[in-house]
Structure 1
Amino acid sequence: MRLSHLAIMTIATMTLAEPALAISRYNSTALTCDQVRQRVINERAVILRYASTRVKGMTLYDRYVTRSAMCDPHEYAERAYVPTRDTNRCPVLNCQDYDPETRRFGFGKPVIRF
């Protein structure tokens, strides 16, 4: 009985943890800037994709977040812009590598508000 109990607990844990791995994907040019920003806020992290303006037929995508806490420990949230249905420069945040050696004054990761 002990083995079956362990198997049930393992399956239950895997089932509950699975939705945390999912991340929504959206085409940013199909949404308005307000809709994009609201989806990022509601879901804390999303993947946005859009067509490249430099290379015809290429799709660009990245993960956009609400704050640095959503990034890996060696990253921080930096201001970025994506094209949307109503503007070419909708402000969002995405994770960038953090190198404390190159930071001026060495005060740690910058804090940028969504």
Structure 2
Amino acid sequence: MKKTLFAVFALSLVAFDAHAISRHDIAGMSCSHVQGIVRAEGAAILRYPSPRNPSLTLYDRFVAHGGYCQIDEEAVAFFVPTADTASCAVLKCQPRIFQPFGDD
């Protein structure tokens, strides 16, 4: 029993590296570059100018696939402005909409 408690205590002292999510200002990037960043990192925070008011900066978390979303979320297409296009397709986690009786 003492050995088990000691082992649990020793393991609790081990520090693990935290993987912080990276942030990218995408205003000057191409669409393929932005998509490549998200694909390579799995998830990233992208900052971009608001389409309606370019003086405002918007940001959100974008993912490579649904595996980076919470269990009650799904990855849906979202479009951000980049240097070469006004609507670059990336994936964003959104709450899953529960429909118990189908799409009727």
TM bucket (normalised to shorter chain) is: 0.7 to 0.9
If you compute each CA radius of gyration, which structure gives the higher value, 1 or 2? 2
Alignment-derived partner of residue 85 in structure 2: 87
Alignment-derived partner of residue 15 in structure 1: 16
TM superposition shift of 1:7: 6.4
Write the distance in 2 (CA, Å) between the matches of 1:29 and 1:4: 52
Identity %: 35
Write the distance in 1 (CA, Å) between the matches of 2:30 and 2:79: 13
Instruction: Please state whether the residue corresponding to 2:58 is helix, strand or coil.
Output: strand
1:78 equivalent among 76, 89, 95: 76
Structure 2 stretches lacking a partner, 5+ long: none
TM superposition shift of 1:76: 0.3
Greater share of residues in helix: 1
Aligned alpha-carbon RMSD (Å)? 2.4
1:63 equivalent among 54, 61, 64: 61
Instruction: Please state whether the residue corresponding to 1:104 is helix, strand or coil.
Output: coil
TM superposition shift of 1:56: 5.1
Write the distance in 2 (CA, Å) between the matches of 1:7 and 1:58: 49
TM superposition shift of 1:8: 5.7
For normalisation by structure 1, the TM-score amounts to 0.74
